[in-house]
Amino acid sequence: MARPDLQQELQSLETKWKERWPNLLPSTLKQAHSSIEELAFLVALETIDGDPRRPHVVQVSMPPHTWFGTDVPGGRWGIDNPDTQYFLVPLEASSSYVITGRRHAPGPIDSNYSFSDLDGWRTLANIAHDQLQVAPDGSYTITLDSSPANGRPNHIQLTEGGDSLLIRNTLADWSREGADNLEVKRLSGPPPDAEPTDDVLEHAFVTRLRTLLDHVIANLQAPVFKVPVNVLPQPGKPGDKAGFLVTQRNALGHFRLQEDEALVVTLNPGGAGYTTLPITNVWGVSPAYWEHQSSLNNHQAFKNTDGTITLVVSAFDPGIANWVDTAGLEEGFIMLRWQRLHQLDEDPEVHSVLVKRADIAAHLPSGIVLCSPRERAAQLKKRRAAFQRRFQE
């Protein structure tokens, strides 16, 4: 990434990205630089680990962090979920593989194993959380080859057109839950090609980055910008959006808030075992969610007496526990997610209203849990400590 020609390519793509959306606020346009740097680091990881005949499990879409004494830059993108840890494995249909997993109680609230066409944003097969068979000791294996399952549990049939396994481990309680340990082994297939040179990797990197940026513009940003600002639509059906989790229902909108404005949001879990409201910038990158309460899920938030959840999205602290901090963003994206759904339960739904700061109380349900500055400081301290567990276990 430090190569001068790659840096020049990044500058060109950044200019293209900003020129596509000329009506964004000046503060938002300034975020494009750091956002494309994160997107590029993600693509660099995908490219270097892109050989299906030398596969590794690589964690992606992570914020900046320190790992065994090394400062690692951020690689967030695509409206990343602060609750989800993402892992990627390169695959090909002419080879066979086994994924070995180890789950630590209580494990993630949700997990999915999606055989995908990474550049085409298509999911070709998926093992959902409730379909995965896990042994009493927390171990499990997933087999992947070109043959049908024929009764084999935890099997994914590899087909032409797919090139990756995207693994999502979603954590509802950061202080208790953790991601699985994961390993991949290639069992059979054609012999590996020669190790690629840096020039070959650079060409693949640029090609993939250009393709991904076009997808982000056309399939991520454009549909969200068509939704009226500060209005959250009702969730679509599972798998209705390219590239997103096929077992998930979600609702995407964008906010643009003045300093004295807030978005009061009430969501109905609708029988979902997990639901969340996080924010990102309009380039799809989350803020520092370990320092800011910029996301809340149904296990972190306080519920109303009827089981719904009311949250306030704002730049200022409204004095309630269910505050979603915009973390310095004047505008950004909101992507509500409903996962672990039961088909027989009522549909999930969301309602939102834009209000002035002085009018927030009139739009809150009775019994809403308040939060003093001292309690907020303790809330954030607990959040930071829970987040750091991801790098300690």
Domain ranges of the chain: 49-188, 227-391
Domains 49-188 and 227-391 alike in fold:
yes
**Both structure tokens of 192:** 């590996």
Contacts of 225-229 spanning 24+ positions with Cβ under 8 A? 225/21, 225/254, 227/252, 227/253, 227/254, 229/254, 229/255, 229/256, 229/331
Contact 31, 281 (CB under 8 A): yes
Q: Which helix (H) or strand (E) holds 209?
A: helix 198-215
Q: Which of 70, 50, 375, 312 is nearest to 192 (CA)?
A: 50
What pLDDT, on the 0 to 100 scale, is given for residue 195?
A: 93
Q: Annotate 312-380 with DSSP letters as a single string.
A: EEESS--SBSSEEE-TT-SEEEEEEEEES--TTSPPPEEEEEEEEGGGGGGGSPTTPPB--HHHHHHHH
At what angle are helices 26-48 and 198-215 packed, to 10 degrees? 130
Q: Which fold has domain 49-188?
A: Jelly Rolls (2.60.120)
341/248 Cα distance (integer angstroms): 8
Structure tokens at 74: 């951020």
* Tens digit of pLDDT at every position of the chain (393 positions): 899 999 999 999 999 999 999 999 999 999 999 999 999 999 999 999 999 999 999 999 999 998 888 999 999 999 999 999 999 999 999 999 999 999 999 999 999 999 999 988 999 999 999 999 999 999 999 999 999 999 999 999 999 999 999 999 999 999 999 999 999 999 999 999 999 999 999 999 999 999 999 999 999 999 999 999 999 999 999 888 888 999 999 999 999 999 999 999 999 999 899 999 999 999 999 999 999 999 999 999 999 999 999 999 999 999 999 999 999 999 999 999 999 998 656 689 999 999 999 999 999 999 999 999 999 999 999 999 999 999 875
Amino acid at residue number 11: Q
> In which residue are the tokens 């000329």 written?
22
pLDDT the model gives residue 345: 63
Exposure on the CB side of residue 47, measured as CA atoms within 13 A: 24
Q: Output the CATH code of domain 227-391.
A: 2.60.120.1600
